[in-house]
């Protein structure tokens, strides 16, 4: 099996540095980026065999980045390495085009296993998620929110929501997304209506609760 060319994305430089040492045993690291938009741009330039990415990343979260990469760089295999251990995130990751899903408390050997599996055309899911799937099933009848999931929003709405939650102003969001200020405001108020939220602060809390951004972002 050839040594794969690997692009890594995580918003913590120290995590990237540590991961690089593990990854270099299995392939050639061709790039490292720290936000979702840079990931999409760099992947198109480098056309890596594997993209190792997180879910919680600034400017564009990993799930929406994966949706774009699946269309723009379909030959690249996507492996998520994230703190999100709930079955919902794993399910959404595979729907978005992931070939592998690990969590950051997984054993280091799992990264090797995941890389080798996806290079053989297989999928890899950490066994730690299997335990969480069982736990979630046992507690599925517990009081859950009736508010729609973030995945019920359009991609553009999610992009706007994430940038709002990261503290970006309307003009900055419009510039980043190359849309008008009025369009940003339209998406914001449409989301508030759909989600039954009544302020920017409530939108931010919702984005954090849904894992679209992390508290430390």
Q: Domains (ranges, CATH) in the chain?
A: 5-138 (3.40.50.2300), 150-209 (1.10.10.10)
- DSSP classification of residue 86: S
Distance from C-alpha of 169 to C-alpha of 144, rounded to nearest angstrom: 32
The predicted model scores a pTM of: 0.71
The Cα 66–Cα 12 span in angstroms is 19
- Mind listing the pLDDT tens digit for each residue in 87-105? 778 888 888 899 999 998 8
| Residue-level pLDDT at 90 | 85
Q: How far apart are CA 73 and CA 182, in angstroms?
A: 32
Closest CA to 69 of 57, 86, 85, 84: 57
**The predicted structure's pLDDT at residue 145:** 52
Confidence of residue 72 (pLDDT cuts 50, 70, 90): very high
Full strand arrangement of the beta sheet holding 5-9:
28-33, 5-9, 50-53, 77-82, 98-103, 124-125
- The pLDDT of residue 143 is above 50: no
Higher pLDDT, 60 or 201: 60
Average pLDDT, the chain: 85
- Between the ranges 64-73, 134-143, 204-213, where is the mean pLDDT highest? 64-73
Give pLDDT, residue 138: 45
pLDDT tens digits for range 168-205: 889 999 999 999 999 999 999 999 888 888 888 888 88
* Closest to 95 in 3D by CA, of 126, 56, 64: 64
């Amino acid at each position: 099996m050839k040594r794969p060319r690997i692009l890594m994305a995580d918003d913590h430089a120290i995590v990237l540095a540590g991961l690089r040492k593990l990854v270099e045993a299995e392939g050639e690291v061709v790039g490292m980026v720290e936000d979702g938009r840079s990931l999409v741009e760099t992947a198109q330039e480098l056309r890596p065999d594997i993209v190792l990415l997180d879910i919680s990343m600034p400017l564009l979260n990993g799930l929406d980045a994966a949706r774009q990469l699946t269309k723009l760089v379909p030959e690249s295999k996507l492996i998520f390495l994230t703190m999100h251990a709930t079955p919902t995130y794993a399910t959404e990751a595979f729907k978005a085009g992931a070939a592998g899903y690990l969590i950051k408390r997984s054993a280091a050997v799992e990264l090797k296993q995941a890389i080798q599996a996806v290079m053989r055309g297989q999928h890899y899911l950490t066994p730690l998620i299997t335990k969480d799937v069982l736990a979630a099933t046992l507690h599925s009848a517990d009081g859950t929110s009736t508010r729609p999931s973030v995945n019920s929003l359009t991609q553009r709405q999610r992009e706007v929501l994430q940038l709002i939650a990261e503290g970006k102003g309307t003009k900055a969001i419009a510039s980043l997304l190359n849309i008008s200020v009025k369009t940003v405001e339209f998406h914001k108020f449409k989301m508030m209506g759909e989600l039954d939220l009544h302020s920017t602060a409530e939108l931010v809390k919702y984005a954090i609760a849904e894992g679209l951004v992390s508290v430390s972002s």
